[in-house]
Amino acid sequence: MTESRSVRLTSESHCDDFPVLSGTIGPDVIDLRTLPQKTGLFSFDPGLGGTATCTSSITYIDGDKGILLHRGYPIEELALNASFTETAYLLLYGELPTTDEYQVFRTNMNTHRLLNEQIRNFFNGFRRDAHPMAILCGTVGALSAFYHDGLDISQPATRDLSARRLIAKVPTIAAWAYKYSIGEPFIYPDEEMSFSENFLHMLFARPGNHYRVNPVLARAMDRILLLHADHEQNASTTTVRLVGSTGANPYACISAGIAALWGPAHGGANEAALNMLQSIGSREGIPAFLEKVKDRNSGVRLMGFGHRVYKNFDPRAKILQATCHEVIEELGLERDPLLDLAMELEKVATEDDYFVSRKLYPNVDFYSGLILKALGIPTSMFTVLFAVARTVGWVSQWKEMIEDPSARINRPRQLYIGQPERKFVPMSERG
Ligand code: CMC
């Protein structure tokens, strides 16, 4: 971070200079940390769309150009050449691993997949129809009650241990939440399998059915996970950083991130996109549905379209579009009416002036839902899968924040628009 120049903010009563800071790439920022002291004023930015709340060297997005870099590497190159586990190493430690580093990391991570056997008991406390996100959120938070040796966040080795544990154990909890919801026995993790093979195995194997992981589908799962691993300061990552800024333990922080991800405007979008397709029903229903979307008063949105940052094609969506076709071909699902409807909706919407003029393109959730459906994963598990992937980003960003000497507890201010001070009126005098 360098200070290149300053900007002068002037008002009737103030004239102050504020430094302008430059990162390696991307827009400069005005350093407003001294704004209240110098001027007695605060900045007002609901939604934080114009505010950088931290420095980070993990992920870079240029939304206008449709660029996404992890530690400098374009997402397209990672998706084509690296595995999810390799990308996790990159996000956590800043460099791609050597062969030896990768083997040590992979072996170590795989041993962390198993859960303390007592955690099994938690599942019985949930109703069978509980949403798996509810189970995931509660159980991940409760890991802090089991892994006490991961709670001292002042130690780098302990932070690393907790980070690895979370990445490795969240898939086991996720798969067991699914198994519980369908009344099947839990499948224990297999240390020999890759991250994605093991995850598919825990989701779909049954005692005695000799489940074999299809390599095309394992690759598709790996790609979905890789593409969701991190995405800069989105709502759930910001939540993890905010909770982490209080010194809370990492299991509590990631549980908070899972809660934030659950919302339909964030991680719930792929589930919402598929539900939307089901409610449209057929190609014939598209025009009437799009009319509703365009009617401001209807409150209906085209789920899986639009992004706060990307005002161009989301690069992840492009990769998933191709993966989606690969999976459909492998499984012989070309004639699936829902997929057919999705392709038609994409075509119509991307040519429609309403979406073109607002720069609303399909985002990653439009395709990930379709692929997951083709893989046989129920819609209620979609956001859970997103959480499995994003845990890598959350723990990387959490570690970066704890290791940043300038990090402080996040405590924004407000523009108060309520009653000014007034005198208390006893109930007997209130009429
Ligand atoms: N369908 C219809 N209109 C839309 C949509 C949409 N999906 N998204 C934005 N618009 C319109 C919006 O009504 C507004 O129109 P106008 O200028 O006439 O008022 C304009 O586009 C700008 O929208 P905005 O609400 O200012 O955009 P935002 O940056 O606040 O919202 C968003 C971003 C992702 C919440 C929104 O695009 C949306 O709700 N999309 C659908 C949900 C979705 O797919 N979410 C997943 C996001 S990607 C996952 C991730 O990276 O976490």
User: How crowded is residue 339: how many other Cβ atoms within 10 Å of its Cβ?
Assistant: 20
Find tokens 């690895």 and name the residue: 164
Within-domain flag for 48: no
- Give residue 1's pLDDT: 78
How far is residue 318 CA from its own chain's centroid?
18
Q: Which residues of the chain have pLDDT under 70?
A: 334-335
SS3 15: strand
pTM score: 0.88
| Position 245 in a domain | yes
DSSP structure string for 345-392: HHHHHHHSHHHHHTT--B-HHHHHHHHHHHTT--GGGHHHHHHHHHHH
What is the domain count for the chain? Answer: 1
> Which amino acid, residue 425?
V
The per-residue pLDDT for range 97-134, each reduced to its tens digit, is 999 999 999 999 999 999 999 999 999 999 999 999 99
Q: Does residue 32 line the site of ligand 1, with CB under 6 A?
A: no
Alpha helices in 265-336 (DSSP H): 269-280, 286-294, 315-331
In a domain, 7, yes or no: no
State the pLDDT at residue 343: 84
- CA 267 to ligand 1: nearest atom: 52
Q: What is the model's pLDDT at position 6?
A: 80
- The confidence score (pLDDT) of residue 7 equals 83
266 CB near ligand 1 (under 6 Å) = yes
In a domain, 35, yes or no: no
- Give the CATH number of the domain where residue 196 resides: 1.10.580.10
Any atom of ligand 1 within 6 Å of the Cβ of 314: no
With respect to residue 194, please indicate whether it lies within any of the assigned structural domains. yes
- Is the Cβ atom of 232 under 6 angstroms away from ligand 1? no
Q: How far is the CA of 307 from the centre of ligand 1 (A)?
A: 6
Residue 304 CB–ligand 1 contact under 6 Å? yes
Protein residue with least CA distance to atom 28, ligand 1: 308
Give the residue numbers annotated as catalytic, written as ranges.
Answer: 307, 365
Can you give the pLDDT at residue 358? 94
Tokens read off for 315: 């690069």
Question: How many A from CA of 44 to the centre of ligand 1?
Answer: 21
CA distance 314 to 67: 8
> What is the pLDDT, as a whole number, of residue 266?
83
Q: Is residue 278 part of a domain?
A: yes
Looking at residue 16, what is its pLDDT? Answer: 85
Residue 332: inside a domain, yes or no?
Answer: yes
Domain assignment of residue 93, given as a range: 74-398
For position 308, what pLDDT does the model report? 83
Nearest CA to ligand 1 atom 24: 308
pLDDT of residue 264: 84
